[in-house]
Amino acid sequence: MNQWHTFLASQGAVISDNAVLGFGNKEAELSATANGAILADLSHLSLLQLSGEDAVSFLQGQVTNDVKQLNGSNSQFAGYCNPKGRLLALFLAYAHDSKLYLQLDGRLAEAIAKRLRMYVLRSKVVIEDISASTVRLGVAGTNAEQALAGLFAGIPQRPLAMSQSGNGLLIRLPGELPRFEIICAVSQAEKLWSELQKSLKPVGTSNWEWLEIQAGIPNVVPRTQEEFVPQMINLDALDGINYKKGCYTGQEIVARTHYLGKVKRRTQLAHVSGSNQPQPGEDVLLEGNDEAVGKIVRSAPSPAGGFDVLAELRLESMEAGRLICNGGPLALSHLPYRLD
């Protein structure tokens, strides 16, 4: 257990495989997530750092978004595809102090870093996993800005905007509920946590996952690698694809999907009843039909009971009958953004 996780454990956290399972009262944590204000450790995410004079031009040829637009005051979603346009990873990308940073699902970090390094060739780029030397914290709730105001000089007002202070970086995340991510050094994290928990309730990773789902933010995990073209998980609706930036791996397929007609598969917000949590990669079926019409992208326990999910679906299946996942009915809800 590292220094940061030792501190969290002293605060009552139960930790397994780099994820905080909770702080001893799941019902209270779920209630606070839905109705109050929460503080979450985001150690389940990893952070890759790209440095060197060719870092920008190198990454520009790898991902779906235009990393030249990262200027130190903003962040962006970006997909990393195989040559067939299928997603290998989804990044939250930003620039700071002449370096680029890619945040992604921690289970993918080692393999993705290795794959990126394969394409460096003669470029002057160094790719490092700096997860162990940084802490990522999630803050959410109607009083989130108030809780952060005494610690950060400037609170970003636009989704994906970023500010910097002596306590680290602060990114405003998309969604109807005010949400922020703090990225800081381990040496700063204990003080920040101690201050923030005075007005925010510490919660487990699954609670943060629920908020990501409510915001319609997808994810790529080991089981769903190479399953989705970026538009299938709404990356275009999240401004995670730039169609004017030029070539990158998988660009031809992504562009063809955009220019040759309406996307036929999209990710939807939904609720699954029952006690068995659907897992990413599990099939969604039409009742009475064994043919899969979609896959679960993301899943978390719902404060209302059951589970809320992001499910990638054939659009035609949404009105073709009752949708089933993991033996339970899947009821569609409304995303907080528009799909064209």
pTM for this predicted structure: 0.96
Say which residue the tokens 């060197």 belong to.
52
Q: CA angle 309-209-295, nearest 5°?
A: 30
HEC string for the chain: CCHHHHHHHHCCCEEECCEEEECCCHHHHHHHHHHCEEEEECCCEEEEEEECCCHHHHHHCCECCCHHHCCCCEEEEEEEECCCCCEEEEEEEEEECCEEEEEEEHHHHHHHHHHHHHCCCCCCCEEEECHHHEEEEEEEECCHHHHHHCCCCCCCCCCCEEEEECCEEEEEECCCCCEEEEEEEHHHHHHHHHHHCCCCEEECHHHHHHHHHHCCCCCCCHHHCCCCCHHHHCCCCCCCCCCCCCCCCCHHHHHHHHHCCCCCEEEEEEEECCCCCCCCCCEEEECCCCCEEEEEEEEEECCCCCEEEEEEEEHHHHHCCCEEECCEEEEECCCCCCCC
Give yes or no for a contact between 189 and 246, defined as CB atoms under 8 angstroms apart: no
Q: Which tokens sit at 256?
A: 């063809």
Q: Determine whether 20 is exposed, middle or buried from the number of CB atoms within 10 Å of its CB (0-12, 13-18, 19+).
A: buried
Q: Which residues pair with 125 in a beta bridge?
A: none
User: What string of pLDDT tens digits covers the 340 residues of the chain?
Assistant: 699 999 999 999 999 999 999 999 999 999 999 988 999 999 999 999 999 999 999 999 999 999 999 999 999 999 999 999 999 999 999 999 999 999 999 999 999 999 999 999 889 999 999 999 999 999 999 999 999 998 998 899 999 999 999 999 999 999 999 999 999 999 999 999 999 999 999 999 999 999 999 999 999 999 999 999 999 999 999 999 999 999 999 999 999 988 887 789 999 999 999 889 999 999 999 988 878 999 999 999 999 999 999 999 999 988 878 899 988 899 999 999 999 8
Q: Determine whether 61 is exposed, middle or buried from the number of CB atoms within 10 Å of its CB (0-12, 13-18, 19+).
A: middle
- pLDDT value at residue 115: 97
Give yes or no for a contact between 103 and 217, defined as CB atoms under 8 angstroms apart: no
Q: CA angle 329-231-245, nearest 5°?
A: 165
- pLDDT value at residue 321: 82
- pLDDT value at residue 119: 93
- pLDDT value at residue 112: 98
Give yes or no for a contact between 220 and 212, defined as CB atoms under 8 angstroms apart: no
Q: Which tokens sit at 234?
A: 């709404």
- Strands 162-165 and 168-173 turn out to be antiparallel
Say which residue the tokens 């003080």 belong to.
191
- pLDDT value at residue 106: 97
- Strands 307-314 and 134-141 turn out to be unpaired
